[in-house]
A and B are shown apart, each in its own frame.
Chain A
Amino acid sequence: MRQRRIPTIVGLLAISAGGLLLALPELGGGLLPRVVATLLTVGVGAAAVVLAARELFDSDDPELRLPTPESRPPYRVPGAAFAERLDRISTVGRRAVDDADEWDGPRERTPRERVYASLHELAVDVLGRTDGDRPGAAADRLADGAWTDDEAAAAFFADGLCPPLPRRASLPLVRPELPVVRRARHAVAELAERLAADAPDPDSRPAPVETVGDGESADEYWPTADLPRTRSTGRTRRVAVAVLLASAGGVVMGVPGAVLTAAFGVALAGAARVREPTADIELTRTLEPRTPSPGSTVEVTVTVRNVGETTVPDLRLLDGVPAGLSVRSGSPRLTTALRPGTERSFSYTLTAVPGTHAFESPFVIAGDFAGARETVRTVAVTGGQDSLACGFERRSDDAGAPREQATQMPGQQKAGVTGSGVEFDSLRAYRPGDPASRIDWHHRAKTGDLATVEFQEPRRPRVAVVVDARRAAYVAATPGDVPAPRHGASAAYSIADRLLDDGIPVGVGTVGAGDCWLPTTTGEAHREAVRTHLASESAVPWTPPSKPTQIGDAVDDLTARLNPDVQVVVVSPLCDDDGVALVRQLEGAGHSVSVVSPDCTDPSTVAGAYAHLARESRLSTLRGHDIPVRDWDPATPLGEVQAHAASV
């Protein structure tokens, strides 16, 4: 403040002296005032220009980082990596492939070589499954092009990586599609057709790939780190530059009008100093309905009330839509001006998806009258609801007939040891102390020796449901759709709910996101804990974890928590090879593993079809290792079969 006082005093003195001189012009006569006046004008003018230059190169306050409440954080689409690789195929790679000779030593593979390698592997796998070809025979058929009628698809594997280029390709600024890319697309479409998937149209050129969420761009959903703060919009700085330049220029060039315009600038800059931009407001939010069913519409109404003493001239508000919900209609943003005591409401609708969604604190930006400064902060909602619960209900369809439960109670798993039980296992010589009820009297009558019957001991199985929430597992059919781990959380809950109904102890854990682990046990309190954890963001958040997960470490963590006899149900989209590695390593650690895999691929595009094929290939790899895999389309409710998959 002290720094501002001196120039203010100087300004007041100068304006008083100037006014005096204007009123009494005879005071300014004579030689001395003339010299002083010239020096003063030149000096102040030069100082004004220097100050203006300094202001000009000064930087603005950092830009506001505002969230996008309308949509979920964007997720990767399965096959995005393949699409990107196709995009990166260029004539440069062609030269690199041409120039390659054995003297160069190892070099980095070009995009077209990588596409070839991954497609070749996939094609061998697909031919093996559809036609029963052995890998060698499949590779031969690919090499001679006999596997398909589509010439372009056949040529991709048969004619090498550098097909003749169209003439246009050598023109500058023209980027026609390279033949190798077209052939790769045809090959994917042909393979997809073989597996009876909805084959994509190979001749539709894909739109350029948007790189979504490959790390850097995946910001925090609700960035509140540097709030609250007051920032300048940068206007006062620009006004100051204009005033300094206009007045200095006007005096030097003798244009009084230019100097007069400085009055506008002083007025604009001065008004910004009059009052701090503040907003004393109160927020209320209502949700209708409060517990919607998945896919239905929820209407959100937010009311803003000015509870302060002064008018809020410029208020901007972003409601804190939970990360898992997306806006269907309307806008969760509001601008308004509020007199004291008045209020304003706005509403928008959301599409409900399963989960317990907690609303964030809304962003409030309050500007001043002149629009020179603004205060940014979050304001907690004081009235109404701040979370929305959808789905994750207890199964009510079949409440299990009592008789069925009676047979299930002894347990469905053989313990591998013998003793008392129901099912006959073997006969052994009597040992003193054996219970009399287990002596085989028929045997005694026949042979005269005492013998004891051994039964198979039943044991209750124990199950751990593990949701794959690694960074790579956060894929969705479209970038704004529900990501696979959230589908996984729904599936995990319905599996756990079913098993708990059967009296089987269930534990729940995640791989990747956070460190959620609920030990294997039973009971209503446990069921509620499972529901709370899986429905809310605490176990499987809506934003992907920032770091990739090391599969080895994750498996070590899990095996340290699980007894070897605990069966594991892994819920994973299997959209990368690490998902398969996770399942295989758990199996290797001695657990009996089964897999439920939500299918988040969209085979209607070439890249999506590639991801679909690669996922099918992973599923068949797992099935080849005798691991039961349930392929689940998240659009349909998870049937009862999954629960059985757990206890097989």
Chain B
Amino acid sequence: MPRASDRDRPSASGLPRFSAGVSAISVLTVVGLVATDPASLAFAAIGGLAVGVGLLRRSEFALTSGVSGLFVAVLQAGANGSPEWVLGATVPIVLAWVTARHALRLGAQVGSAAPTLRVELVHTVSVVVLLTAGGGIGYLIYRSVTGTPSPLALGLLLLAVVAFTVSLR
């Protein structure tokens, strides 16, 4: 008679490998990008560890804290650098966060026994396309400004961002 432990192990024990891998590579990319600045590297390392813990222990809190740590590291490293660099370095952070959350959700709902690669690919590709499009438009607007923009214009743009966020919530 088969023992219960062999047969009835919950299938939600594993994480989808592809999404978890994309997430891990993105985290490593961020760590590599900020490696020149010791303080940023420390933030990024701690944040990366927290993302790993969040994935392994299925803790949303650890995941979000880790991603925040990575973002702080990028801001710290790019504070005096170009905005383009910050924009580019944020892409892997957002990608890491989104794919990690997707992996957690798939792991909880489907488990690792069923193949999930197709859905993961579709999701990752759509997110990359979205991020590229969104970031590209933002960057174009930024580049279209020549000279020193007036503070009023910046204030109005901030208002626009907040208003859109509220409406899209």
Do A334 and B114 have beta carbons less than 8 Å apart?
yes
A45 at the interface (CB under 8 A from B): yes
Q: How many contacts between A and B, using CB within 8 angstroms?
A: 272
- Min C-beta distance of A270 to chain B, whole Å: 6
Do A18 and B75 have beta carbons less than 8 Å apart?
no
Do A8 and B163 have beta carbons less than 8 Å apart?
yes
Task: Tell which of B71, B94, B169 has the most Cβ of chain A within 10 Å.
Answer: B169
Closest to B151 in A: A37
Contacts of B105 in A (CB 8 A): 233, 371
| Interface SS, A side | helix
Interface bin, chain B:
35 or more
Contacts of A21 in B (CB 8 A): 149-150, 152-153, 156
Interface bin, chain A:
35 or more
Do A29 and B114 have beta carbons less than 8 Å apart?
no
B36 at the interface (CB under 8 A from A): no
Cross-chain contact of B158 among A41, A269, A480, A481 (Cβ < 8 A): A41
Cross-chain contact of B87 among A7, A71, A235, A261 (Cβ < 8 A): A261
- Min C-beta distance of B70 to chain A, whole Å: 12
Which residues of A in the span 330-353 have a Cβ within 8 Å of any Cβ on B? 330-331, 333-337, 346
Do B156 and A267 have beta carbons less than 8 Å apart?
no
At the interface with chain B, which of A9-17, A156-164, A579-587?
Answer: A9-17
- Min C-beta distance of B4 to chain A, whole Å: 4
Closest to B131 in A: A264
- Min C-beta distance of B7 to chain A, whole Å: 6
Do B150 and A260 have beta carbons less than 8 Å apart?
no
Do A11 and B150 have beta carbons less than 8 Å apart?
no
Tell me the bound Cα distance from A267 to B87 in angstroms. 14
- Min C-beta distance of A606 to chain B, whole Å: 16
A265 at the interface (CB under 8 A from B): yes
Do B11 and A266 have beta carbons less than 8 Å apart?
no
1/0 per residue B114-148: CB within 8 Å of A?
Answer: 11101100110011001101110111011011011
Do B142 and A7 have beta carbons less than 8 Å apart?
no
Closest to B119 in A: A335
Known: A271-B130, A335-B115. A251 touches B169 (CB 8 A): no
Cross-chain contact of A47 among B126, B130, B150, B162 (Cβ < 8 A): B162
A284 at the interface (CB under 8 A from B): no
Closest to A70 in B: B11
Which residues of A in the span 228-281 have a Cβ within 8 Å of any Cβ on B? 233, 235-238, 240, 243-244, 246-248, 251, 255-273
A521 at the interface (CB under 8 A from B): no
A44 at the interface (CB under 8 A from B): yes
Do B162 and A261 have beta carbons less than 8 Å apart?
no
Tell me the bound Cα distance from A21 to B106 in angstroms. 46
Do A370 and B134 have beta carbons less than 8 Å apart?
no
Tell me the bound Cα distance from A354 to B101 in angstroms. 42
Do A479 and B162 have beta carbons less than 8 Å apart?
no
Known: A36-B152, A266-B168. A371 touches B162 (CB 8 A): no
Contacts of A318 in B (CB 8 A): 109-110
Known: A21-B150, A40-B159. A267 touches B139 (CB 8 A): no
Contacts of A37 in B (CB 8 A): 150-152, 154-155
Contacts of A258 in B (CB 8 A): 75, 86
B98 at the interface (CB under 8 A from A): yes
- Min C-beta distance of B100 to chain A, whole Å: 11
- Min C-beta distance of B91 to chain A, whole Å: 7
Contacts of B10 in A (CB 8 A): 68, 70
Contacts of B79 in A (CB 8 A): 255
Contacts of B81 in A (CB 8 A): 257
Do A14 and B157 have beta carbons less than 8 Å apart?
yes
- Min C-beta distance of B133 to chain A, whole Å: 6
Which residues of B in the span 87-103 have a Cβ within 8 Å of any Cβ on A? 87, 90-91, 94, 98, 101-102
B64 at the interface (CB under 8 A from A): yes
Known: A7-B167, A259-B161. A333 touches B127 (CB 8 A): no
Known: A48-B162, A258-B75, A259-B158. A4 touches B8 (CB 8 A): no
Contacts of A14 in B (CB 8 A): 156-157, 159-160, 163
Tell me the bound Cα distance from A55 to B130 in angstroms. 23
Contacts of B4 in A (CB 8 A): 478-481
Which residues of A in the span 18-71 have a Cβ within 8 Å of any Cβ on B? 18-19, 21-22, 25, 27-29, 33-34, 36-38, 40-41, 44-45, 47-48, 51, 55, 64, 66, 68, 70-71
Tell me the bound Cα distance from A273 to B138 in angstroms. 19
Tell me the bound Cα distance from A346 to B114 in angstroms. 9
Tell me the bound Cα distance from A335 to B107 in angstroms. 11
Task: Tell which of A5, A22, A268 has the most Cβ of chain B within 10 Å.
Answer: A22
Contacts of A240 in B (CB 8 A): 165-166, 168-169
B111 at the interface (CB under 8 A from A): yes
- Min C-beta distance of A512 to chain B, whole Å: 24
Tell me the bound Cα distance from A243 to B160 in angstroms. 12
A365 at the interface (CB under 8 A from B): yes
Do B134 and A33 have beta carbons less than 8 Å apart?
no
Known: A331-B113, A335-B116, A481-B1. A55 touches B169 (CB 8 A): yes
Closest to B157 in A: A18
Which residues of B in the span 40-67 have a Cβ within 8 Å of any Cβ on A? 64
Cross-chain contact of B152 among A33, A243, A262, A330 (Cβ < 8 A): A33
Tell me the bound Cα distance from A497 to B37 in angstroms. 83
Closest to B142 in A: A260
Contacts of A369 in B (CB 8 A): 122-123, 126
Tell me the bound Cα distance from A240 to B164 in angstroms. 10
- Min C-beta distance of A207 to chain B, whole Å: 9
Cross-chain contact of B8 among A28, A71, A259, A370 (Cβ < 8 A): A71
Closest to A75 in B: B4
Contacts of B118 in A (CB 8 A): 335-337
Do A51 and B166 have beta carbons less than 8 Å apart?
yes
Known: A15-B156, A41-B158. A263 touches B163 (CB 8 A): no
Known: A25-B147, A479-B8. A266 touches B161 (CB 8 A): yes
Do B165 and A22 have beta carbons less than 8 Å apart?
no
Tell me the bound Cα distance from A7 to B162 in angstroms. 9
Known: A258-B75, A266-B134. A4 touches B167 (CB 8 A): yes
Tell me the bound Cα distance from A325 to B91 in angstroms. 46
Closest to A210 in B: B4
Cross-chain contact of B86 among A28, A260, A330 (Cβ < 8 A): A260
Contacts of B159 in A (CB 8 A): 10-11, 14, 18, 40, 44
Q: Which 10 A/B pairs are nearest by Cβ-Cβ distance?
A: A267-B134, A257-B86, A263-B138, A28-B150, A11-B163, A18-B156, A21-B153, A40-B155, A257-B83, A331-B113
Ordered by A's residue number, 24 sampled pairs between the chains whose C-beta atoms are within 8 Å are A7-B167, A8-B163, A11-B161, A11-B163, A19-B141, A21-B150, A25-B149, A33-B150, A40-B152, A40-B155, A44-B155, A247-B161, A256-B83, A257-B85, A261-B87, A262-B165, A264-B91, A264-B94, A265-B165, A267-B134, A270-B134, A314-B122, A318-B109, A479-B8
Known: A34-B151, A40-B155, A480-B4; 17 extra A-B contacts, CB below 8 A, are A14-B160, A36-B155, A48-B162, A255-B86, A257-B81, A258-B75, A260-B139, A261-B87, A262-B161, A265-B165, A266-B164, A267-B137, A273-B168, A326-B7, A333-B109, A335-B106, A371-B127
